[in-house]
Amino acid sequence: MKLYCFGESGHSYKAALALQLADIDWTPIFVDFFNGETRSDQYRNQVNEMGEAPVLVDGDIKLTQSGVIQNYLYNRTGKHGGKDEAEKLEILRWILWDNHKLSSFAGNTRFLMNFFPKDKRPQPVIDFNLARLKSSYGILENALTDKDFLVGNNISHADMTCCAYLYYPEPFGFERDDWPNIDRWLGNISTTPGWRHPYDLMPGNPSERA
């Protein structure tokens, strides 16, 4: 399998981590997002008409959107998707929640606070996003009370989707020390065999553009 991705992309990390922890032989294809590759006609015509990463290629199959890719990998491998119908639905619930309430705001806010030109950063938008993120962190913190993972007793795609942005070092309103349950959970995920930090798992790092 091939994954179009880049290190700074939390959504790409969800798919890359799912591939990694499923012990699948895969190759990362670097997407030069910061030099406009996803906005190019070539990328949109040949890779993803939505102009986004990640994109998974498995033979003749091409998939976009991290949640779709995660579901496909579960169907292919039987791993990390829940042991019964109740767990499968709960994992899907967290994937949908994360994409709407956590990752969308985290990704946007992190971009504006760190990768957008300083003189053009819209502070009212950032402040609004930070308030929304604080609420989402609280929901995740409460859900992890007395739990090692979000669904069941082992890591699942629910964990892989919700954790994706929370390992990044750039500021976007998240400090692990402020959320002890989330901090413990992130530790559980990072000690899973095969886990790697997003900047180690995918090509692309802010230091390369410094």
Tens-place pLDDT, residues 2-32: 999 999 999 999 999 999 999 999 999 999 9
- Number of helices and strands (H, E) in the chain? 9, 4
> Which of these, 49, 59, 56, lies nearest to 16 by C-alpha position?
56
Asked if residues 99 and 71 have their Cβ atoms less than 8 Å apart, the reply is: no
pLDDT of 113-164, one tens digit each? 999 999 999 999 999 999 999 999 999 999 999 999 999 999 999 999 999 9
Which H or E run contains 15?
helix 10-21
Q: What is the pLDDT of residues 164-179, one digit of tens each?
A: 999 999 999 999 999 9
Identify the structural domains of the chain with CATH numbers, from first to last: 2-80+196-209 (3.40.30.10), 85-190 (1.20.1050.10)
Rounded distance, CA 31 to CA 54, Å? 9
Instruction: Give SS3 for 99.
Output: helix
pLDDT at 58 over 80: yes
Global confidence as pTM: 0.96
